[in-house]
Amino acid sequence: MKIITLLLLFMSPFYTFALKSEDHLSSTEEGYFVFDSEKKLLPLLHQQDLNIDHINEKGFEIYGPHGLGTFLHDLGANFEDLTPHTKRWQSLIAEYPTPKEVQERVESLVKMNPDILELEIIGKSHQGQDLYVVKVSDNVSFDEAEPEFKYIANMHGDEIVGRELMVLFLEDLVKRYREKDPKVLTAINHTEIFIMPTMNPDGSGNHRRGNGHHRDLNRNFPDFTTRDNVNTPQGREPETQAVMNWQATRNFSLSANFHGGSKVVNYPWDTTAEQAPLTGLIKELSSHYAATVPGMFDNQYFPGGIVNGYSWYHIDGGMQDWSYYFHNDLQVTVELSNSKWPSYDRIPQYYEDNSQALLDYLLKVHQGAGFFLADKNESGLVTLISDNEDKYGPYDFKNGEFHKILPIGNYTINVETKSGDQKTFKRVVTDSLPQ
């Protein structure tokens, strides 16, 4: 009888408040944790275009527009507010630097190390703050014939650990490069590395999940399984547009973005139960990150510290699926901490726990194959065939270059340029690092 009552409530016009005119806009004006260990409410809530997040053994997070709390109360749900206002919470917030202070710290680091660091402003946030990326390379002012890699953090403003770890990672890379650390020398001398410490400075500055428009940026990208399946930035949040326009100019082949609320590596797809291409390799790379992080590889809820996104919880408009589907940039989502906003004095320990994984995962960009043409304006299609006759592609390439993460083996790369030329390359993919 209770389930029938709930269904009738959901069918009532009054309970369609969460529906929006555009699928890629997701409100985060209110957020709650719903205690629902048996997951009885999940199927019903999924019908209401509400953001479900971080499902665990106790329940799940849910986000939506004003009125969500009243909605949950009327359903008889047991829930608590995810926006605490206690004095302890306020003291935790006060320990962290502001977005402006973080940017100044990064700018100072770049200014002191112009030979290997370069800062680029790729756009403005909803509230007019800089959206900046740091390039790390031994020839930082030139576009070299090297694989391209990126890290993006803090797209959810209330998941702060990633932002702090990216700043520490930048500082650590510089320090170890000056000390001639072999792994760091390899990374910087043979890779074009891009790090975006905060995709959502408005959210972190206001200590909330959404951006300055109360939108969830990780539900704001094109999604190949929905009506919003055209890879265009038009009509999206400014932060999303900035990342989309920037990525369109690059040739990333491996990346990760950072969140908080659990400790696990989430791999594609998030939006469908179908397996993503090269899922076996994606799981290997995810495990490679999780393997050295305490509390992640030995996570009892997520064996081995990895989970398929869709099997955990379904989302549409996520960045990792967009990056992999539309740009062939294999991206995973790393949940760094069970607490989204831990005490600031715990940040050094989080960095120590993740520092090896951050560098080792980055270096995995070299487990791939590709080519670099003399004509940087050349574009076209690429097909790869392994010695086992596994076929990958066709993939688009642009800017005269292409690089794809692949399983270990021998490959034939067939290239057809838009100018009509056909080229063939033989490549061997290993897990050894460039010398």
Domain annotation for the chain: domains and CATH numbers: 2-83 (3.30.70), 91-366 (3.40.630.10), 371-429 (2.60.40)
Tell me if residue 248 falls in helix, strand or coil: coil
What lies within 8 Å, CB to CB, of 125 at 6+ separation is 131, 200, 201, 202, 211, 212, 238, 239
Helix (H) or strand (E) holding 385: strand 380-386
d(CA 230, CA 96) in angstroms, rounded, equals 38
- The closest of 225, 97, 110, 79 to 154, measured between CA atoms, is 97
Quick: pLDDT tens for 20-78: 434 434 889 899 999 999 988 888 787 667 889 999 999 999 998 888 999 899 888 99
d(CA 231, CA 223) in angstroms, rounded, equals 8
Residue 155 has pLDDT above 90, yes or no: yes
Q: What is the pLDDT of residue 45?
A: 81
Q: Which residues of 289-317 are buried (b: 16+ CB within 10 A; e: fewer)?
A: bbbbbebbbebeebebbbbbbbebbbbbb
Rounded average pLDDT over 153-165 = 97
Cα 397 from chain centroid? Answer: 22
Residue 152's DSSP bridge partners are 196, 257
Rounded average pLDDT over 295-321 = 95
Read out DSSP for 104-156? HHHHHHHHH-TTTEEEEEEEE-TTS-EEEEEEE-TTTTS--SS-EEEEEE-SS
Residue 134's DSSP bridge partners are 119, 195
Quick: pLDDT tens for 188-202: 999 999 999 999 999
pTM of this prediction exceeds 0.75: yes
Which positions are catalytic? 335
d(CA 74, CA 64) in angstroms, rounded, equals 15
Residue 10 has pLDDT above 50, yes or no: no
- Largest Cα span, the chain: 70
Q: What is the pLDDT of residue 22?
A: 45
Neighbours of 9 (CB within 10 A): 15
Q: What is the pLDDT of residue 47?
A: 66
d(CA 18, CA 210) in angstroms, rounded, equals 16
Q: What is the pLDDT of residue 416?
A: 95
Q: What is the pLDDT of residue 19?
A: 43
Residue 11 has pLDDT above 90, yes or no: no
**The two three-digit tokens of residue 322, written as one number:** 């967009």
Rounded average pLDDT over 94-121 = 97
Quick: pLDDT tens for 237-293: 999 999 999 999 999 999 999 999 999 999 999 999 999 999 999 999 999 999 999
**The two three-digit tokens of residue 410, written as one number:** 């021998």
Cβ–Cβ < 8 Å for 136, 173: yes
Locus of tokens 């000390």: 179
DSSP annotation of 344: G
Mean of the per-residue pLDDT values for the chain? 92
Pairing of strands 306-308, 264-267: parallel
d(CA 104, CA 101) in angstroms, rounded, equals 5
**The two three-digit tokens of residue 116, written as one number:** 């290997």
Cβ–Cβ < 8 Å for 353, 294: yes
Residue 406 has pLDDT above 60, yes or no: yes
- The closest of 363, 351, 403, 431 to 189, measured between CA atoms, is 363
Residue 84 has pLDDT above 80, yes or no: no
Polymer length in residues for the chain: 435
d(CA 262, CA 161) in angstroms, rounded, equals 12
Long-range contacts of 238-241 (CB under 8 A, 24+ apart): 238/123, 238/124, 238/125, 238/126, 238/131, 239/123, 239/125, 239/126, 239/131, 239/155, 239/199, 239/200, 239/211, 241/123
